[in-house]
Amino acid sequence: MEKKPAERKPIEALLDFAGIRIDGDRPFDIQVRNPEFYPRVLAGGSLALGESYMDGWWDCQALDQFFERVMAARLDKKVSRNTSLLWAALKARWKSRATPSRAFEIGEHHYDLGNDLFRLMLDRRMNYSCGWWSNAEDLDAAQEAKLDLTCRKLMLKPGMRVLDIGCGWGGFILYAAKHFDVEATGVTVSREQVEHIRQSAGDLPVRIELMDYRDIDGTFDRVISIGMFEHVCVENYPVFMDVVHRCLADEGLFLLHTIGSTESVRDVDPWISKYIFPNSMLPSVAQIAAAAEKRLFLEDWHCFGPHYDRTLMAWYDNFRQSWETLRRRYDERFFRMWSYYLLSCAGSFRARRLQLWQILFSKYGLRGGCPRVR
């Protein structure tokens, strides 16, 4: 009978809290291919879990279901509360060997991976943020519904000047300019995104700038930021809100669309930070509110985090189905890394450990309040 590695027992005990078995036959069970997986994960935590998956040391038929169970069981909190698990992790660390402008780093590291990847993975407008699935059957419809919902919340009118901070591939500014006759300016730190928007804008009144948000100048009737605030980091939240206040007309509105954390933290998962989004963190309700206080007036706070689960699964399906095309540029390790990223996030939203908020602010208070459009 084959002897099991000593480090397997604490891993089994931890996964048992989530009802997950090692080498089980259910979709959310894991299959360990390399016995060094156990000491590696005990020593390195979530970073080692992700890296060992990228290296092919373990597999799982349904990673999204695995992470849904892991996050719902709050396994990340249990190690620090369980003396035997903590002791096993410390022993593994003792046995392991140690290994030895930031604003634009996220653009170069992530968003400049290649427009081909995102064009195949995202919807036809290349929206890299949560869709609105209430009455939608597919990704294109969900993203168009999100854009329409957002424009109606902002009460856009023809001729308004609109600023999009962190505009991505221009999904919002192109849609708003075409369907609501506004003049739209987008700001991004990604050269690939700038090139895409310039090719897509045609005769629309759209301007795109490659710059850090702190350098924005001018006055706008509406300001929006979709999926960019996650890269700001908490020490810069007041600076960000100062920029919005400075750029917003007195009767203006600001809509913040951001992933959120259920608790106030100052960092992000180490695997996500290293391989997907460097220099990023997820804001909490308290952190956003503290930064907005004395700068902006809260009008509406809308939570639709469960919609991100379905959005991420749609992105994963597109990515997987396009792999035969993408593999000409990306290797198998990238396929495992990107699958791990999309499916782990889907599971986290499904378990409600991650949130998605659209928050509407005015500069001095909207007389009569904002219209209810959802």
Question: Catalytic amino acids?
Answer: 345
Three-state SS for 222? strand
Query: 145 is written with which tokens?
Result: 């519904």
User: Rounded to whole angstroms, how far apart are CA atoms 103 and 240?
Assistant: 13
Three-state SS for 22? strand
What's the half-sphere exposure (Cβ side, CA atoms, 13 Å) at 310? Answer: 17
Closest by CA position to 237, among listed 188, 282, 187, 287: 287
Give whole-number Cα distances, 161 to 158, 187, 327, in Å. Answer: 9, 14, 42
Give every CB contact of residue 73 below 8 A, 6+ residues apart in sequence: 17, 18, 19
Q: Could you tell me if 299 and 362 are in contact, meaning their C-beta atoms sit under 8 angstroms apart?
A: yes
Residues in the chain: 374
Largest CA distance in the chain: 76
Pairing of strands 161-165, 220-226: parallel
Q: What is the DSSP letter of 5?
A: P
Closest by CA position to 277, among listed 259, 255, 262, 256: 259
Three-state SS for 82? coil
Handedness of CA 127, 130, 133, 138 (dihedral sign): positive
At residue 89, what are phi and psi to the nearest 5 degrees? -65, -40
- Distance from the first to the final alpha carbon of the chain: 61
Pairing of strands 220-226, 248-261: parallel
Q: How many CB atoms lie within 10 A of CB 101?
A: 6
